Amino acid sequence: MEWWRRDRRPPLPSVGGDPASVYVAYRFGMAFLLTTAHTVAALYRIQQAGLGPLELALVGTVLEITVTLCEVPTGVVADLYGRRASVLLGLATIGAGLLVEGAVPALPAIMLGQVLWGLGYTFTSGADAAWIADEVGEERARYLYVRGAQAAQAATLLGIGASVALGSLRLNLPLRVAGAGMWVLALVLALMMSERGYRPRWRPGDSLWQGVGGTWRHGWRAVQGRPGLRLLLAIGIFYGLASEGFDRLWQLHLLTRFPQLGEAAGGAAGPAGTGAVVWIGLLTAGAMLLSMAAAEVVRRRGVGDPARVGRMLLAISMLLVPSVAGFGLAGSLAAATGFYWLTALLRETYDPLQVAWVNQGLDPRARATVLSMVEQFHSFGEIIGGPVLGGIAAAIAVEAGLVASAAFLLPVVGMYAVLVRRMAGAGSRPGAVAAPAAPPAGTTAAAGGAGEKATVPPGTADWS
């Protein structure tokens, strides 16, 4: 008998439900609860826990380190014990993290909450999508991914409203309610989630850490001798640096630069911080609506022409520099609001375009590993950027931290300009990306090696 069947635990009992409906409901509930918790979480950390810019940045760094270190190891749970068990464990852990952070307004408790939240996220990451694909098949799952994303968008808007309503009563209330809600969601899913399509993915002799090491070795082979791919990794680092600084400092900047924030939202008569809660909610809701519009524009225009997509990415990165800097230097609340919404729109347009552009330039056998490496380098940038930009904000001013975030985008502009110029020089010449060598046993994705070159169709991005 195979070792994974011999050691596998008995499945958790469930009454079962329609997997498609359960998945869409899960995406809705998850998005609603996370948005409820996080919309005004920074206000709680600033106003109730008294965190400064460096502490806020370190909170983000702790989260990023946790996710980076735990992403692969927690995947073992989904492979050995099932996707359902991984999702349920993740929800329970996220709930615990939110409850811990909301219980004690102090830096150690907030950091512990972030560790638990990051750990729980890695249990759910990928396991939920793999579960529905196992249950209904890959073809139907692709349709459900879209349905789930639409449900999550609607839930996000509702979650913003719930967060504002609860936060207006007490700033830690959204965290507590969302944490308890995660536990309720886990209990409901324990009853409703079936698991009939799961099959163990591990084979005898597979080693987790050998697999991780093998994947990274093949990833490096995929980028060796290809300056385009190396530039993409460097772009990931600098973009991560800039985005982490903005994400951690924007609410603190509004509160310190514009003390009239509460009155601007008409909340002076309510509990302390009510006006700021309402205004942050309005800003977040506006950014969400702009994000939905940006996604629709990208969908309609299409991403089939890599040269056009490359020029769009260059233009977006160029616009992000004055947008982020303008937000940091804005002299009025109206101007800051406009720059914030412009930054949100540009960032939400950037993300799907960048993924699509990278995909078009890779040999299919190298795609999974290179995309994973791009994401990892982005995470490394966030880990570095938090303490650096938080330190600048603490030593000089929050505005200086935001302007420095904009400055970190300048290398991104330069590297995109180089890539676009190379593509223009290549014209319609077919690109070439080396085919990968066969991966060793236990690796999670194949990657490019030093083998023969595989010709890709004319018009695709040339990363060679």
Radius of gyration of the chain (CA): 23
Domain boundaries, the chain: 17-196, 208-464
Query: What percent of the chain lies above the pLDDT cut of 70?
Result: 73
Token pair listed for 323: 């947008």
Per-residue pLDDT reduced to its tens digit, 250-273: 999 998 998 877 554 444 434 445
Domain 17-196 and domain 208-464 have a common topology: yes
Write down the residue that tokens 């385009």 correspond to: 228
Burial bucket for residue 302 (CB in 10 Å: 0-12, 13-18, 19+): exposed
Over range 66-70, report the average pLDDT: 86
CATH superfamily of 208-464: MFS general substrate transporter like domains (1.20.1250.20)
Of 1.10.287.3510, 1.10.357.10, 1.20.1050.10, 1.20.1250.20, which CATH number belongs to 17-196?
A: 1.20.1250.20
DSSP alpha helix (H) spans, 81-172: 83-103, 107-124, 127-136, 138-169
Over range 329-340, report the average pLDDT: 94
If residue 225 lies in a helix (H) or strand (E), which one and from where to where? none
Per-residue pLDDT reduced to its tens digit, 407-459: 999 999 999 999 988 877 765 333 333 333 444 433 444 333 333 333 444 44
Note the pLDDT of residue 303: 62
Question: Is pTM beyond 0.85 here?
Answer: no
Q: Is 462 helix (H, G, I), strand (E, B) or coil?
A: coil
